[in-house]
Amino acid sequence: MDQAILRQHLDVAIAAARAAGSQAIAAEMSKHFHVTTKHTNDFVTDADKENEKLIIGMIRKAFPDESFFGEESGESDASGTGRWVIDPIDGTTNFFRGVPDFVISIAWEIEKYHPLVGVVYVPSQKELFYAAEGMGAFCNGVPIHVSTVSDPKMALMVCVPPHRHHACADAYFAAERRLFDGCSDIRSFGSAALECAYIAAGRLDGYYELLLGWYDIAAGLAILREAGGKADCVGGFSDTRCDVVASNGLIHDWIHQQIHG
Ligand code: IPD
Ligand code: CA
Ligand code: CA
């Protein structure tokens, strides 16, 4: 892929993420939003919807022939040359509870599930994580790389229970127990995109979560891959069901071994 094309897409994604980040912070400060429930433990606010509108509007102006897959508006006509995968606020529960760990997540792909550009913006921290294929991964302009932790006993893991699908809980917690017994500690931040970006930056080492949407992780995984990490899905990637394993690469096989017992 031509680097100039990647750069154009990255620049527009960064501008849209920054604008949406400012809009979300303004909404959070004014508390001018309503929370509604989409499904069990799956929430949306009007700030999510406004952010998605803003992001799609900005991108469409720059790339009128491309298509969109947004968490809130779904799939636009799929005939475009590229597809933008958008989570307008990842960490919605954090957002409306006043926890600062929420992000704007924007990815661009031509081939499905192979994101070429990823941007994860954390407006509360003003941290901008981004990457484009072959061009490296960055946080606020500084190159980032996954950790060198290869001993699982030293690994800081992210594991997230299937809070919307309690029927999967027994198998999940059995796997988390095995991971817990072999690692240093487990964290959960409430934003899949943020967690992937943190692994990319070497702040965390591995991640296991069931039943994510592709919009939750597309941008984070683009950044993680460019930072030297690894990710896959038990059962493969899909728009609506990703059982994701992500890591610094060094503990990847170990995570899979614990999951499969
Ligand atoms: C959620 C967050 C959360 C993850 C959920 C996601 P949302 O996205 O990424 O960390 O555990 O499964 O759906 O609803 O805040 O955009
Ligand atoms: Ca999400
Ligand atoms: Ca969301």
Q: Is 101 a pocket residue for ligand 1 (Cβ < 6 Å)?
A: no
User: What does the pLDDT look like over 91-150, one tens digit per residue?
Assistant: 999 999 999 999 999 999 999 999 999 999 999 999 999 999 999 999 999 999 999 999
Decide: 161 in ligand 1 pocket, CB within 6 A: no
Q: Is the pLDDT of residue 77 over 80?
A: no
Residue whose CB lies within 8 A of the most ligand 1 atoms, among 55, 69, 85, 90, for a mutation test: 90
Q: Is the CB of 216 under 6 A from ligand 1?
A: yes
Per the structure block, which two tokens stand in for 254? Answer: 């170990």
Q: Answer yes or no: is pLDDT of 79 > 90.
A: no
**Confidence category of residue 231, pLDDT binned at 50, 70, 90:** very high
Amino acid letter, residue 185: D
List, for residues 28-66, the tens digit of each pLDDT value. 999 888 999 988 888 999 999 999 999 999 999 999 999
| Whether residue 78 has pLDDT greater than 90 | no
State pLDDT tens for residues 175-219. 999 999 999 999 999 999 999 999 999 999 999 999 999 999 999
Return the pLDDT at 192.
98
pLDDT score of 63: 96
Q: Which atom of ligand 1 is nearest to the CA of 192?
A: 9
Pick the atom of ligand 1 nearest to 209's CA: 11
Residue 94, ligand 1, Cβ within 6 A: no
What's the pLDDT score for residue 69?
97
User: Does the Cβ of 70 fall within 6 Å of ligand 1?
Assistant: no
Across the strands, what pairs with 119? 106, 130
Cα(233)–Cα(174) distance, integer angstroms: 18
User: Which atom number of ligand 1 is nearest to the Cα of residue 193?
Assistant: 9
The size of the chain, in residues, is: 261
Instruction: Could you list the beta-strand ranges (E) of the chain.
Output: 35-39, 42-45, 67-70, 74-75, 83-90, 103-109, 115-122, 127-132, 137-139, 142-143, 156-160, 185-187, 206-212, 230-234, 242-247
Element (H, E) at 97: helix 92-97
What is the structure's pLDDT at 184? 98
